[in-house]
Structures are given as C-alpha cells and as structure tokens.
Amino acid sequence: MTARRFSPDPAPAPHAALRAWIGLGLVLAMLPLHASCVDEATTTTQRTPDPVASREAVQKLVGEALARSSAVGAARMTADAALRDTDEARAAGALQISATAGLGPSALRSEGSTSATLAQARAGLSLSQLISDGGRTERLIDWRERLADAARLGWISSQEQVALNTVSLALERSRYLQQVQVYAQYVGQMGCLVGSLEQIVSADRGRLSELVQARKSMSQAELSQEQAASQVRQATVKLRRMAGEALPDADALLGLLLQVPELAPLQAELARSTDIAQLDAQAEAARQLARSVEAALKPQFSWSVAANTNAAAGGNAGSNRSASISGGLSVSIPLLSPGAGAAADAARKRAEASQLARDEVLEQRQSRLADLHEQARAAMDRARRVAGVLGDSNRVRDFTLQQWQQLGRRSLFDVMAAEAEHYNLRIAEVNARHDGQQMNALLLSLGRGLRAWLQ
C-alpha cells in the first residue's frame, strides 16, 4: 500500500482574510447599537403613587356601580317592605273601624211563625280595639322591627359587596394593564436586539443562531403581551358592566391600599361589621317571635261597639225598619291548644339555632381575617423585596451585555436569560403588589367596610 502524503492547508487567500477583518469591524461598529437597546428599556418610569388620587378614582367607580346595581335596588326595596310590615304590626293595637252593607231576601222563623221579605237592606258599623293580649302584639312588633333592621343591614351589606367587587375588578384590570406595559417594553427590547443582530448577520453569517434565539424570545414576549391584553379586555368588559364607560387608566390605582391594616383593630371591627350585625338582628327577631308564640296562650281583652240597621220591603212581613246598637268588653281565654306548646318549643329552638349560626360565622370570619392578614403582609413584603431586587437585576443586564460585547465573555443566551429574568421580576412585582392590594380590600370589607374607608 502506498502511503499518503499529508501537507498543510494552503494559506487563506488575501481577499478572504480581508473579508473576515471587514466583518469583524462591522460587528464591533454595531455593538453600541446593542448597548442602546438595553439603556432605553430600563425599569418602567411610573407616576409616583398618589393615595388621594387613587382613592378618588375608586370612589367614582364605586359610586357609579352602586347607582347602576339592580341587586342594591332590590335590597333597598326589601328593606322598605320590611318597614311597612312593622307598621302593619303596630296597627294591630290601634282602633279598628269597619262597615258592612248588604241587600237581598231574608226569612225569619220565631216561635212557630215565619216571616219573609223579598228585599232587605242591611248596614252596620263596628268599632273595636285590643286592650291586652299578654304582650303578644308587642313581641310581634319587636319581631318585625328586628326583621326590618336585618333587611336594612342586608341592604348595606349588598352595597358593600358591590363596592368590594368593583374594587377587586378595578385592581385586576390595573394588574393586566401594567403587565401589558411591561411586556410591551420587553417586546421593544427584543425587537431592538433583533434589528441589531439582523445587521450583524448580514456581515457575519456565523451569528445566525443568535438571531434565531433573539427572534424566539421576542415571539414569546409578544405572546405574553397578547395574553395580558386579552385579560385586560375581559376585565374591562366586566368593569364597564358594573361601573359604566369611564374607567381609570393603568397607573390610576398605584397608590391604593398599599398599607396592610393592623390586625387588632380589624378583629375589634369584625364583631361590629354589617354582616354580623345582620345576623344579630335575625337572631333577636327569632327570639321575639318565640316570645310572641308563648304570649298567644295568655288571655286577650278587647272592647267593641256595633250599630246595625235593617230595612225590609215586600213579602209577608210587610215593610219595617229596625236598628240595634251593642257594645262591651270581651275576653278570650285559650283553654285547650294541644299544638301551642310544640309551636313555642320550635320557635325557641329556631332562635337558638340563629344565635349558634351567628357565632359560627363570627368564628369563621375571625380565622379568615387572620389568614388574609398574613397573606396580605406576605404579598406586600414580597412586592417590596422584588422591587429592591429590580435595581440589581438592571445592573446585571448591563454587565451581561457588556461582557457579551467585549471579548466574547458571555453568549447571547446569557443576555437573553438576563433580560427574561429582569422582566419576569417586574411582572412578579406587579402581581405581588396587586395581590396585596386586593387582600387589603378584603380585610377592610370584613371589618368596617370598604365604603366607610373610601369616605
């Protein structure tokens, strides 16, 4: 076998070396353009949070939502109806006047003789009033009054629920609006790098893989931006249905509910909250109803006066007129009522059940209050920590880009990772802050209420 001779590769042609140096020169010349991409996409410049302006924006939203809410209107009508029921119960002890009238044939048989008339006109007037019924009417009035209080508190509770839903929706919309801003800057950053790399690749095809990676990152950022924009549209539709067309801009709620309320005052306010007061009124109403059932077994006293007149014509009785007047006191004493005891026991047990239900709701809300307070505190603390990390993250982006540009110490993959980490941190800060704001709104609604805080 003949041995093959190996010879070194021929030296590159002078024009090939010249093209390589020219390409390197173009790359170095375009590096400042890369730096400008990052320099222009620093952390979002937002308005300084203004708690007063944010509260005013939410006041306007909540006021419009309350004016438009059918649920609030229905609760108000229910409260008005309960007041009318109370008036009816009070009228039971007032003077009662009634009139009667009639016309028609009549027949009367007395001591073996019968008289008949073809037409008899009858008229009567009676007056009566309850003197005493063992306290039953008073207990019924108390029962109706407590139900009216419960209905009024239910109306207030429905207003509070609408206010909470409005604030929560407004904060949710604000969350996604700010996400759209962040992703838009991310897309702009990736677009700037893609444009720069396209110019570099036109001179150096060896950088094509970096261009593909940059385009992939830009597409992912565009997808995230579109998803956030879709969430904005959904939240906007819901909020407009509740509060009308005039909605705040993306930064209007930056200063809203940034401080976590103290737990001890919230716990004290919880026992005096509208929902607990409504349950108290319902339990007291049940107790008054039980007392009214017990009072039904006591004697009842009343007085009455009645006047009647009859005018007959035709028949074998001829024509005659008669009139009568009567009056006096009456007493009604229940002697045997087998179901009364069972009814009273049932009413008492319903009252006890209402009180136990109130105690259970209060205990559950106290537990939920402590849990929400911890979640709100953790969310706000997370938002502050992430905001503090963002400054370091921005410096890491600059350093990574410089090291990628200078002597090839970093790859474009490192640059893309630094960019993704930075913008993910910004999204995490937006989410943590809005989580805390929404939990603060829930905390206030469990106590004195959002409407009281807004005022």
pLDDT of residue 19: 46
Say if residues 148 and 83 touch (Cβ distance below 8 Å): yes
Q: Between 30 and 223, where is the model more confident?
A: 223
Q: Between 134 and 264, where is the model more confident?
A: 264
Mean pLDDT of 326-348: 83
pLDDT of residue 372: 93
CA dist 37 and 275 (Å) reads: 55
Mean pLDDT of 330-339: 81
Mean pLDDT of 94-103: 87
pLDDT of residue 6: 33
Say if residues 116 and 106 touch (Cβ distance below 8 Å): yes
* Tokens standing for residue 123: 């008229």
Lowest-confidence pick of 14-28, 204-218, 371-385: 14-28
The mean of the pLDDT values for the chain is 83
pLDDT of residue 236: 94
Q: Is the pLDDT of residue 7 over 60?
A: no
Q: What is the pLDDT of residues 33-45, one digit of tens each?
A: 444 565 444 444 4
Q: What's the predicted TM-score (pTM) here?
A: 0.79
CA dist 217 and 221 (Å) reads: 6
Q: What is the pLDDT of residues 243-255, one digit of tens each?
A: 988 898 888 898 8
pLDDT of residue 41: 42
Q: Is the pLDDT of residue 30 over 50?
A: no
Q: Is the pLDDT of residue 432 over 60?
A: yes
CA dist 382 and 431 (Å) reads: 10
**CATH class of the structural domain 28-95+133-298+339-454:** mainly alpha
Say if residues 421 and 393 touch (Cβ distance below 8 Å): yes
Mean pLDDT of 368-380: 94
Give Rg (Cα) of the chain: 42
% of the chain exceeding 90 in pLDDT: 40
pLDDT of residue 171: 95
% of the chain exceeding 70 in pLDDT: 85
Mean pLDDT of 179-208: 85
Confidence at 150, pLDDT banded by 50, 70, 90: very high
Q: Where does residue 243 rank: exposed (0-12), middle (13-18), buried (19+ CB within 10 A)?
A: buried
Q: Is the pLDDT of residue 428 over 80?
A: yes
Q: What is the pLDDT of residues 9-22, one digit of tens each?
A: 444 444 444 444 44
Mean pLDDT of 422-448: 93
Mean pLDDT of 340-347: 84
List the beta bridge partners of residue 320.
312
Q: What is the pLDDT of residues 68-93, one digit of tens each?
A: 999 999 999 999 999 999 998 888 88
